[in-house]
Amino acid sequence: MQDAVTNLIRTYDISGSYLDRNAIDSLQHYFKSGAARVAVATAISGNAASVVRTAGTALFEQVPELISPGGNAYTTRRYSACLRDLDYYLRYASYALVAGDMNLLDERVLQGLRETYNSLGVPVAPTVIGIQLMKDQIKRMAEESGIVDTSFIDQPFDYMCRELSEISI
What is the tens place of the pLDDT at every residue in 38-76? 999 999 999 999 999 999 999 999 999 999 999 999 999
Split at pLDDT 50, 70, 90, the class of 159 is: very high
pLDDT for 165 equals 85
Domains and CATH numbers, the chain: 1-32 (no CATH), 34-165 (1.10.490.20)
What confidence tens digit (pLDDT) does each residue in 81-116 have? 999 999 999 999 999 999 999 999 998 899 888 678
> Helix/strand/coil (H, E, C) string of the chain?
CCCHHHHHHHHHHHHCCCCCHHHHHHHHHHHHCHHHHHHHHHHHHHHHHHHHHHHHHHHHHHCHHHCCCCCCCCCHHHHHHHHHHHHHHHHHHHHHHHHCCCHHHHHHHHCCHHHHHHHHCCCHHHHHHHHHHHHHHHHHHHHHCCCCCCHHHHHHHHHHHHHHHCCCC
What confidence tens digit (pLDDT) does each residue in 111-155 have? 888 678 878 888 889 999 999 999 999 999 999 999 999 999 999
Q: Is the pLDDT of residue 168 over 70?
A: no
